[in-house]
Every structure is written in structure tokens, then in C-alpha cells.
A and B are shown apart, each in its own frame.
Chain A
Amino acid sequence: MEATASIELYTPQKLRQEVIDEGLCPFCGGCAGGCPYLAQYKGRIVQLDCCTLSEGNCYQYCPRTYTDMDAVSQKIFGVPFSGDGIGVAREVFLARSTDAETREKSQDGGVVTALLSVALAEGIIDAAIVTGMSNNETPAGFLARNVVTGMSDDKTPVGLLARKKEGLLQCIGAGYETTRVLSALNSIPKESTEKLGIIGLPCQVASMSKRKLSPPENRVNMDNVKLVLGLFCATKRWLEPGEDRQYINEACSYCWDLTAEFADISVGSGRAKFKDWNTVIVRTKAGAELIDIAKAKGALETQPIPDDSLAVEKKASLDKKKRAVKNITAKTGDRKNLLYLGLSEAVVDKLLT
């Protein structure tokens, strides 16, 4: 043991002061897992011990620490961040799985499960990190590497590694709970060569995008991540099951992203008008290739999205951005201080009007 001087502000403390204590933490799990100092537990990130690093992954890849949106957008799409409606989109359509079992178990059209099944079957990925329900884990630092591969009756969302379609089917329906997908990713041994697919909420996809921009050391190689599927997300969050009270995470009111704009493919519900269908936004080349294969294999049934439905999505998405910027500037009292959001002046002007 060594005496620890606490004069310097170390990374997890910085994260705590600037993000967690400020009510900005969306509980994406990007800082936890693979780190013995931070644990995801009952709707909060808990710092278990004092890390004495001044530069650490937890701070760097947090979607609520400073993010240069243009740089991220350039890295993923080759264009700056526009701030428009649903972000970069190659194609938008409605789709559903052709597999009856998948459709029956899923919340909407089962597109995520269908796409991941195809990706696994075709060897595009070896494992999918998805949301599952498992034992009510008590994280304790040392559990960092224990990526859960089983299921139990106690419904607590966790990150799971699914390597077969059956594994995916078990995970359907976990829906819009915040999950441990990223902490599961962080927990994968750095020498692993498995090709990975990830499914996440916009905050988790944002954290992934920061990793793509500047890959972490001593973590699994980001080049192994072949696929990022994003889920649409409104601002409601619930505590993990077992807690009786429902609440909205304040952090979500500062979130700009409805449609997981930095994903390869984003998937949302078809809304009331197209119940049992998914709205699908294809954003990257990798995303488009997967869609093509899925269609060719007959895994997806698609139909065009009507203009009015697309307009609703675009408006909702833009509104979320505007609301986020408004809420952030109200919090900081300074139109130039957007906390984590590194936006160009032009985009800020657009969103504040």
C-alpha cells in the first residue's frame, strides 16, 4: 500500500464532479467494466476506490464529457455534424423480421434481432453485445471481467455476449432500459480477436463514437467492433427492476440524440401508425451492406416510410436537440457553455432559434 496524495484531481473524481454530481450521467456504462474503480449499480455509477490516473478512459469516453461533434461525425461519416433532424442517413424505411418467433417476442418488428442474427450467421460478427436480463449482480470492482453469459429469473439488465441466434432471442424485449452493454465491452479481454456487434442507446452509441475517434489502450481493439446498432431513445428512464419508483433521469434532458446518430444502423419503433414495424435508418457503408445481406437472405420484410411519418421522426429528433441545448444553456446560464456538446457556432445558432 502506498499513501495517496489527494491534491491532484484524478480521473474518476473528475468524472464524478463534472458529470455524475452535475446530473449529466445517462448511466450508459461506458466508464464501468474493465475498470476496478467504477461500477454500475442500481441506476448510478459508483466510484469504489481512488484511481490516481489523471488521464483515463472513463473520462475520455464518457458521452457527457467534451465531445467534438464535428470530429466524431468526420470520423464516422466524413462530414461535419449538421444538427439536422435525424442526422446522416443513407436510407430510411420501415422493416420487420420475417421470423415469426422473433416478431412475437419483440417489442416492435424484431429488426435488431433479425440483423444481429444475420450478422452472426454470415460471420460479419462473432458475438453480439446485447441487453439481457440476469442475476442482480452486485458489482464490486473485481467483477469487471465477468461478462455474464447466462440468464436467470431475476430481471436485471446486463450486457450479454450472444454468440448464437438462441442467445439473441433470450434478449429480446429488454427494450429501452439502460444497460450494461458498454461495461460488458470494456470487460472483454484486450487480446480478444472476436468480431463484435454492439447494440446501444444513443448515449452508448455516442460513447462508442468517441472510442472510434480515438481508440483506447488496454481495451479490446475497436477495429474488432464491426457493427454498431443504435436504438431510438426518448427521455424516459427507469431504475432497474426491483426499485418501485419510476423516475426520469435528469441527465436525459441534456441529451441531444433521439435516433443514435453515430450508429451504423439506427432502429426505432414504427410508432402507433405502424405498430409491429420498425423505423430503420441506415447510416454507414457497413450498415448498408448488412441490410443488403439481410434482405437477400429474406430475413427482413420492408416497406417505404411515408413522408408524413418521416417528417414526424425528423421533427422529434430536431426538437430533442433544441430541447437539450436549451436545457444545457439554462443550466450553465451561458450560451457559449454547452458543457459536453462541442458544436459549431452555426449549429448552436440553428438550434437556439
Chain B
Amino acid sequence: MPGINADAPGSVQLLMGNEAFARGALEAGVGFAASYPGTPASEILSTLASVAKKMNLHAEWSTNEIVAMEAAAGASFAGIPAISGMKQNGINVVSDFLVNTGMTGIGKGGLVVVVGDDPSAISSSNEQDSRWICRWMDMPLLEPSTAQEAKDMVKWAFELSRELDIACVVRETTRLAHTRGNVELGELPKTEKKAYFPDTWNMCQPARSNFTAGPFGILHYQLQQRLAKAPAIFEASPFNHYAGPDKPELLIITSGICRLFSTEAVERLGLQDRVGIFKLGTSWPLPEKLVEKQLSRAQKVLFVEEINPFIEGSVMELAASFPATKPHIDFYGKRTGHITLFGEQNTDLVTGALAKVMGITYQARDAQYDKELKEAAKMVPPRSINFCAGCPERAAYWAIKDALTLDGRNGFATGDIGCYSMGFAAGGYFQERTMHCMGAGIGVANGLGNLKQFGFTQPVIAMAGDSTFFHACIPALINGVYNQANFIFLIFDNSATAMTGFQPHPGVGKDATGEQAPAVDMEALCRSLGAKVEVCDPFDLKNSTATLVRLLADEKPGAKVVIMRRVCELVRGRREKAPYKMHVDPDRCVGDDCGCKRLCIRLFGCPGLMWDKEAGKAKIDEAICTGCGVCTDICPQGAIIKEAV
């Protein structure tokens, strides 16, 4: 199969949405790509990184989203087309910088922000509609519906950002990011790129640089003036189009992946002659004339979009300005409860909404189906979100649980997102008691650790992963040292950004393209800040528990750091064979009886352990067990035997 950089205009490739974004960037002549991993947007950067050398492109995993965004902007300032992809949380992180690029402009390179929203928060701690940033920061917003559009619109977004001198936002949602579609390739530019920062100091005409934001209020006005050029451009955009009868009974206004759900819903109900679909690819600012024209087709409008009523609100705002002589329009959507205000949309949901608006009785399937479904569901064993077999984070959580319990002062752990966020569930023994954004565990601990004067005696363990440490924890750690907050900062150092697919980070010694890179020594860094640092192997439960217990009892104020260092078992498994062959001695295993009560399966919960119902004993699931050997140390009967391989 030809690569993502195939120089084959007109040929068709089956591309994942995120790959299509990458291809679009390549066709736009992108020279600089920087991101921090985050589902559902991670593959944009990894795809670009895979062809970085061949395409003379700089691709990097940055320490966090704002650094990525700033780096990309720096390239654009110097005339190099630049892109940064991120998940919805990333938009929050970069917002402070982006609002300033509105003031300064983005240089001659062109700057595109792709944001992947995760409706239903399938791989997120929150659900959020990132489109709003375009309204409050005055940025143009594009919403592709298909992989083809993803490719084409990203390419166009570069042109648009240069034309308006504003960063252009392209929004995708999970289904577009991760489904594949046919993409007809365009041409790859052949021109050489030359980077140069134009606004240098001129001693004869000393003046401020265009790239310095504020404190001039006029800069905001100038931004609004630049953005005001967008609607005229959007009026003619092929990414906005209408399909359906000239005068439908109902007009659906939709964007993004919801256009496909809407089309399928109309077909499913056989309403092709009665319902039309106006698909908006340029969602902000609204091409008002075009929208007004489409609204004149029908007296009933249904909005179909994912998460917030963004287009719904803008269009109704516009309709409110229409003269009273215009025919009244009934609007349906999230405001009326026809479309949910949260979660992913799908064809079923949209079909239900459409049927309701059209007064059609619709039942997706007969009642018998649901009955049988219920029965079938009973056959699926209940499962909780859990760590992989052999995960060092499970072992670390076991130590955290035991240490806090032994300490006996109702201590608790605060955390954030990453694999270890599964500590909020049974897999991590419910030890994670707060979970918010990247770095929040240690941030929150800075508050909890300084409440002594209010009689607060509960010890606090703040947790973060290694990638998160570099991303968002260092200022909070400095704060803990400086303001003498009393907490233990525990870093799960598994040498990977495991949750999003093993992207490298500053600590691992490899860059985004797989080349050797300097590894930042987190241990030395923490020590240099004045924190007491201990390094534990989480597989050594005895030592890691004892270390935590000892540090919990240490009431000297100030942050203490415990690095739980053990490479992700999946990464290890790819490099080398299992260290141990595991088996259960059935004579020693007491199963459900006193002295165990199925500790390994009921509580420890490694998926490599299974229950032999007939024998009433534990056994090893050899297909899943990674041979880490940790369960040997939790078995009270010494029944789980590890043999060195």
C-alpha cells in the first residue's frame, strides 16, 4: 500500500480520519507539526512523524499542548506552515496562547489547530464542545464530515489562516477521527520552504514587532475586522451544501459526522422527498446569507450536531434578526429536547428525533429483540475497567492502598488522567479519590497539604504518570517545595505515554520519529527543586509499601517524591520474553476458605489470574499472564509459584 505521502494525485486511499488530516497538511505543504498525545486526535501527529524525514517536516511530541501550539506558531511566524492537533482538553491548555495570536496574527506560514472532541467521553475525563473557543477568541471554524473533507478542509484551513491572519480551527469528533473512508489524493507541493522571522529590530526605524500582543485594545478590533472577511469566503465554500427537495417539509441543519447520521436517518425513514439536509462545513462565523437562503426552504428546522447547540444557537440568533414579515420557523434540536445535549449522536438517535418531529411512529426493532438482547447480556461476565495483566501500576496501587491503610489516618490519593486514572475503579482498588485534568493531582495536593492550621491530619499522596509529570506537574511540585505543602508526589514512571498508545516523552530518550533524543532525568530534576526523592520498583511490593509508609509518617512539611519506576508491561513484552512462568499449586491454594477468600481474583484482580469454578482454586490464564511474578507476593498461602524462565 502506498504511504500517506504517496505522490499520486487522483488515486484513492482508504484513510482513517486522522490520517486524512495528516495528508491534507502534507498537501498544504506543512513544515512543522507539534502535538501532545490525546485521544481521539493522536494519530495526526504520529502519521506526520512517520513521514517527517521524507517530507522534510519537523514533527514532535511536545511536553504539553501549549508548548506544542506555541512551537507551531513559532514556525508559522517564520513562514513555515504549521499544524497542532489535540483532544478537547488540549484546547483548554492552549487557549491562553491562542487568544494572544488573535492579537498578533500568525505570520506568513499558516497555522491550523485540529481539535478532536470526544463526545460521551469515551477516552476522556470530561465531555466538552471545543467549538466555542472560536466564538470567544474570534477564530474561523471548519467541521469536516468525511475523511475526504478532513483532507480537503485541512488543506484549505492553511490558506484560510494565511488569508485572515488568524489560526484556523478544524474540529473533528471521535467517529470521524477513527473511522476510515476513501480519500482521493491531491498534489503534494514541490516548493522548497525557507524559514525566516521577518519582524526583527530595525535600528533606523525602531518600532514594536507585529508579534507582540497588547496592550492595545485596537488589536482586538483589528482581529474582528479580519474575521469579518470570513463569511464572504464561506458563502461560496463547497463544504457547505444542500441536498434534498427544493421545498422540503423539514430542513435538517447539521455539521461534522452528524451529516452522515442525518443522511442515513432520512433514508431509513424513506423521507428523501420530504426532508432536506443543509450541511454546514464552515460553522463559524456563519455565512449568514447562505444560511438565510437555506432557512427560506422550510418552516420546520431540525438541528443535528454533537455535544452543544453551537450551530443551533448561531442560526437562531440569526433568525431572531429576520424581519417580522418573514414566515415563522419552528426550530427543533437540543433546545427542544429532540437531540441530546450530551454524548455521541448516532443514526438511531437522529432517526428517533426525525421521526418525532415528522410525527412518524418509528420503532427501530421489535420488542422481542430487546428481550433477547437482555438475555444475551446475562451471558457476558461483569467486568470492570482494569489495568492490563502485569501492569506495574496495579502493583503500585496495591502498595498505595496498603500503605495508606497501615498509616491509619484516613489518608488518600489524588490523581489525574492517564492509565493510572483507572485507580478510580476496582482495578486500582478505588484509591484515586480525586481526578481532574493533567497535573491536577499534585495541584490539589498543594491545597490539601497546607491545611494543618484547620486540623487537617489526613496524609495525601498526589499521583501522576511520567508523561503527565513533564506535561503539567513541575510548577505544582515547585509550589509544593516553595510553600511547604505536605504531600507525597508519586510518579508512575512506566517510560511511555501508555494510555494513548506509547508515544515517547521527554524522559524516554526517543523522539517522535523514533530517533535517539536526550532523556530528561526526572529524578535529578525533582532533587534539584529541593524535594526528597525516592525511587521504588513497584513490583517490589515490600519495599514500595514500606517506603510509602515511612514517608507518610514523615510530617516534615514539603513535597516528597516517590518515583515508581517499572516499564509498561506491554512495552516490555514487545522487547523481551516473560521473566517468569507462573502456576498455581492447587494443594496450597485455599480458594474461598479462610486464609485467602480468593484474594488474588476478588481483590488483586490481575486478568492473568482466573478462577477454576469446579476445583474452587485459582489458576493462571496462560494466554494473558505476562509472567511479571507480582501475584506470588500477594498470595497468603504461597500457592502462586513463579519459576524463572
Give residues in A with beta carbon < 8 Å to B: 1-4, 11, 34-37, 39, 41-42, 44, 46-49, 51-53, 55-58, 138-145, 189-191, 216-219
- Contacts of B586-629 to chain A: CB distance below 8 A: 587-588, 590, 593-597, 599, 601-603, 605
Cβ–Cβ < 8 Å partners of A141 in chain B: 402, 599, 634, 636
B556 part of interface (Cβ distance < 8 Å): no
Choose among A1, A35, A42 the residue that contacts B426 (Cβ–Cβ < 8 A).
Answer: A1
Q: Please list the 6 inter-chain residue pairs (A to B) with the smallest Cβ-Cβ separation, ordered nearest first.
A: A138-B546, A36-B636, A1-B605, A1-B426, A140-B402, A142-B634
Distance A96 CA – B599 CA, assembled complex (angstroms): 47
Cβ–Cβ < 8 Å partners of A34 in chain B: 595, 636
- Contacts of B517-569 to chain A: CB distance below 8 A: 541-542, 545-546, 549-550
Check A46 against B408 for contact (C-beta < 8 Å).
yes
Given known pairs A1-B602, A53-B597, A189-B588, the reply for A47 and B636 (CB within 8 Å) is no
Check A142 against B595 for contact (C-beta < 8 Å).
no
Cβ–Cβ < 8 Å partners of B603 in chain A: 1, 49
Given known pairs A138-B545, A141-B636, the reply for A218 and B427 (CB within 8 Å) is no
Check B384 against A1 for contact (C-beta < 8 Å).
yes
Check A145 against B427 for contact (C-beta < 8 Å).
no
Distance A58 CA – B406 CA, assembled complex (angstroms): 18
B327 part of interface (Cβ distance < 8 Å): no
Question: Which chain B residue shows the least CB distance to A4?
Answer: B602
11 A-B pairs with CB atoms under 8 Å apart are A1-B427, A2-B382, A35-B595, A36-B596, A42-B406, A57-B595, A140-B403, A142-B398, A142-B541, A142-B633, A189-B638
Distance A332 CA – B634 CA, assembled complex (angstroms): 40
Give residues in B with beta carbon < 8 Å to A: 382, 384, 386, 398-399, 401-403, 405-406, 408, 426-427, 541-542, 545-546, 549-550, 587-588, 590, 593-597, 599, 601-603, 605, 633-638
Check A55 against B594 for contact (C-beta < 8 Å).
yes
Give the interface centre of A39, A44, A141, A216 by most chain B CB atoms within 10 Å. Answer: A141
Cβ–Cβ < 8 Å partners of A51 in chain B: 597
Question: Which chain B residue shows the least CB distance to A55?
Answer: B594
Cβ–Cβ < 8 Å partners of B637 in chain A: 145, 189-190, 218
Check A138 against B636 for contact (C-beta < 8 Å).
no
- A240 → chain B closest CB, angstroms: 13
Distance A242 CA – B602 CA, assembled complex (angstroms): 36
Question: Which chain A residue shows the least CB distance to B546?
Answer: A138
Choose among A52, A143, A218 the residue that contacts B542 (Cβ–Cβ < 8 A).
Answer: A143
Cβ–Cβ < 8 Å partners of B602 in chain A: 1-2, 4, 52
Cβ–Cβ < 8 Å partners of A1 in chain B: 384, 386, 426-427, 601-603, 605
Distance A56 CA – B405 CA, assembled complex (angstroms): 21
Give the interface centre of B398, B594, B634 by most chain A CB atoms within 10 Å. Answer: B594
Check B636 against A144 for contact (C-beta < 8 Å).
yes
- B586 → chain A closest CB, angstroms: 12
- A95 → chain B closest CB, angstroms: 39
Check B590 against A140 for contact (C-beta < 8 Å).
no
- A141 → chain B closest CB, angstroms: 6
Check A142 against B635 for contact (C-beta < 8 Å).
yes
- A339 → chain B closest CB, angstroms: 23
Check B402 against A53 for contact (C-beta < 8 Å).
no
Given known pairs A140-B542, A142-B635, the reply for A191 and B594 (CB within 8 Å) is no
Cβ–Cβ < 8 Å partners of B382 in chain A: 2-3
- B609 → chain A closest CB, angstroms: 11
Q: How many A-B residue pairs have CB under 8 A?
A: 102
Give the interface centre of A3, A48, A142, A143 by most chain B CB atoms within 10 Å. Answer: A142
Cβ–Cβ < 8 Å partners of A217 in chain B: 593-594
Distance A191 CA – B588 CA, assembled complex (angstroms): 8
Distance A42 CA – B596 CA, assembled complex (angstroms): 23
Check B590 against A218 for contact (C-beta < 8 Å).
yes
Check A140 against B588 for contact (C-beta < 8 Å).
no
Cβ–Cβ < 8 Å partners of A52 in chain B: 597, 602
Distance A167 CA – B593 CA, assembled complex (angstroms): 34
- If A46-B405, A46-B406, A218-B590 are given as contacts, then 12 extra A-B residue pairs at C-beta distance below 8 Å, sorted by A number, are A1-B386, A4-B602, A35-B595, A36-B634, A48-B401, A48-B402, A49-B599, A53-B593, A58-B594, A140-B546, A145-B637, A218-B594
Given known pairs A35-B595, A46-B405, A48-B406, the reply for A145 and B638 (CB within 8 Å) is yes
- A52 → chain B closest CB, angstroms: 6
Distance A58 CA – B602 CA, assembled complex (angstroms): 19
Choose among A39, A139, A216 the residue that contacts B594 (Cβ–Cβ < 8 A).
Answer: A216
Given known pairs A1-B603, A142-B636, the reply for A191 and B406 (CB within 8 Å) is no
Check A36 against B546 for contact (C-beta < 8 Å).
no
Check A39 against B406 for contact (C-beta < 8 Å).
yes
Distance A150 CA – B595 CA, assembled complex (angstroms): 25
Cβ–Cβ < 8 Å partners of A48 in chain B: 401-402, 405-406
Check B595 against A138 for contact (C-beta < 8 Å).
no
Cβ–Cβ < 8 Å partners of A140 in chain B: 398-399, 402-403, 406, 541-542, 545-546
Cβ–Cβ < 8 Å partners of B588 in chain A: 189-191
Distance A182 CA – B605 CA, assembled complex (angstroms): 29
Check A145 against B636 for contact (C-beta < 8 Å).
yes
Question: Which chain A residue shows the least CB distance to B427?
Answer: A1
Give the interface centre of B403, B406, B605 by most chain A CB atoms within 10 Å. Answer: B406
- A38 → chain B closest CB, angstroms: 10
Cβ–Cβ < 8 Å partners of B633 in chain A: 142
- B262 → chain A closest CB, angstroms: 40
Cβ–Cβ < 8 Å partners of A57 in chain B: 594-595
Cβ–Cβ < 8 Å partners of B402 in chain A: 48, 140-141
Question: Which chain A residue shows the least CB distance to B553?
Answer: A42
Check A47 against B405 for contact (C-beta < 8 Å).
yes
Choose among B386, B546, B595 the residue that contacts A218 (Cβ–Cβ < 8 A).
Answer: B595
Cβ–Cβ < 8 Å partners of B595 in chain A: 34-35, 57, 218-219
- A43 → chain B closest CB, angstroms: 11
- A328 → chain B closest CB, angstroms: 26
Distance A338 CA – B531 CA, assembled complex (angstroms): 54
Distance A41 CA – B549 CA, assembled complex (angstroms): 11
- B381 → chain A closest CB, angstroms: 10
Distance A138 CA – B426 CA, assembled complex (angstroms): 24
Distance A34 CA – B599 CA, assembled complex (angstroms): 12
Distance A254 CA – B602 CA, assembled complex (angstroms): 37
Check B597 against A139 for contact (C-beta < 8 Å).
no
Cβ–Cβ < 8 Å partners of A42 in chain B: 406
Cβ–Cβ < 8 Å partners of A139 in chain B: 406
Distance A53 CA – B593 CA, assembled complex (angstroms): 8
Question: Which chain A residue shows the least CB distance to B541?
Answer: A142
Cβ–Cβ < 8 Å partners of A189 in chain B: 588, 637-638
Cβ–Cβ < 8 Å partners of A11 in chain B: 594
Question: Which chain B residue shows the least CB distance to A138?
Answer: B546
Cβ–Cβ < 8 Å partners of A2 in chain B: 382, 601-602
Check B599 against A53 for contact (C-beta < 8 Å).
no
Question: Which chain B residue shows the least CB distance to A187?
Answer: B636
Distance A145 CA – B634 CA, assembled complex (angstroms): 10
Cβ–Cβ < 8 Å partners of A39 in chain B: 406
- B610 → chain A closest CB, angstroms: 12
Give the interface centre of A3, A35, A36, A145 by most chain B CB atoms within 10 Å. Answer: A36
Given known pairs A1-B602, A2-B602, the reply for A35 and B636 (CB within 8 Å) is yes
Distance A139 CA – B636 CA, assembled complex (angstroms): 12
- A183 → chain B closest CB, angstroms: 12
Cβ–Cβ < 8 Å partners of B403 in chain A: 138, 140
- B589 → chain A closest CB, angstroms: 10
Cβ–Cβ < 8 Å partners of A56 in chain B: 594
Distance A143 CA – B593 CA, assembled complex (angstroms): 19
Distance A138 CA – B399 CA, assembled complex (angstroms): 11
